Structures are given as C-alpha cells and as structure tokens.
Amino acid sequence: MSEHSPKSSNPNQDPTGSSTPGEPVYLVVGKLRRPHGVQGEIIMEVFTDFPERLRKRQTLYVGEEHRPVQIDTIRGHQQGLIISLVGYPDREAVGTLRNQMLYRKAAEAPQLPEGEYYYHQLIGMRVVDERGKEVGVLSEILETGANDVYLVKNAAGEEVLLPAIEDVILEVDVPGKSIRVRLPEWE
C-alpha cells in the first residue's frame, strides 16, 4: 500500500516530521497541481491508494510546513481529483498552493488488513534469509505491474532485488523491524 513520506529540504528537521526516526508523522496523499476554473478548485494528483477515504470537511496539511486545510468539495477528475479548500475562494487564492504536497497525519491513515503494510513501515527494515543470515536493509520499494519489488542493500553497497510475493517474503516483523525471506534461486 502506498502513502509516501518524502524528504524535507530542511536539514535540521527529520524528513518525515517525526520525533521517532523512521516513523512519519505525515503521509503524502497527493500533490496540488493547478487551479481548475475560477471557483477556487484545484486539480490534485493522487498518491494514496485510498482516495475514496478523502472527504468533505476532512483536515489535511499543505506543504513542508504542514499548514492545516479543510476540504470543502471533492470530486473525481480523470486519474486525479478536483478539490476546493475552505478559505481559498477563487482561482488566485488556490493558485498559491500550486505544486505543493498534500498530507494526512499518519495516525489517521486507514488500518490495513493483516499482511499488508505501508511503505514507511518497511523501509529501513533489516532483511535476513531463512537461516537468519543478514541479507541487507530494505532501502526502496519498486512498484511494478505484477507485484512490488524490494530493493535490499547489503553492507558492501550491493543490491538484491526481491519480488514481494508469498514464496519470497516469509515473515514481516514490524515491531522487530525485520523481514525474513527465502532468496530466489536464479537460473
């Protein structure tokens, strides 16, 4: 599942806005693109897997400063959404938000079904094989058409690509921050 936490340009601030390293306070749900019409609507590029859970009167947060805004109206548009925000009554006002990220608090993110995880929960986890031998650290998750692929880097900087499928990912221990895998036998 994806709700992402991007890097911050402020070197003195944790990039996720979190007091606990690796656990974001805010998750990206979309990017505000350009005004739509003259009534204060703006096109939003959707980054969340749960756009249907965005609703009228919901508080979200704009930009790296995480300024609170409230959704006034929301509707589908092509692959994204068109939204209006309380306090941004016209094209000029909402235009000031152009190209800024829109966030939700991580604590308000939907609970996922058993066996599903948010990317921020997995990135940085230690990856070990079936015998407990260190494989590396999960550094990136690549989204592909069929399944995600985990990019694991070892201490030497070498990369291992692991398909996120049941035969390979044997156990995810979120509290223990580790993933147990069966390394594929490449021919």
Cα–Cα distance for residue pair 50/57, rounded to 1 Å? 17
Reported as a single tens digit per residue, the pLDDT across 77-106 is 888 999 999 999 999 999 999 999 999 988
- Domain of residue 133: give its range: 119-181
Domain annotation covers residue 42: yes
Instruction: Evaluate whether residue 77 is within a structural domain.
Output: yes
Mark whether 166 and 103 lie in a shared domain.
no
| CATH code, domain with 35 | 2.40.30.60
Closest C-alpha to 101, from 42, 163, 40, 21 = 42
- CB distance 101 to 151 below 8 Å: no
User: Residue 102's CB: how many other CB atoms inside 10 A?
Assistant: 27
Boundary residue ending a domain (87, 107, 127)? 107
Asked if residue 98 is part of any domain, the answer here is yes
Last residue of a domain, one of 107, 132, 154: 107
* Mean residue pLDDT across the chain: 85
* pLDDT for residue 16 is more than 50: no
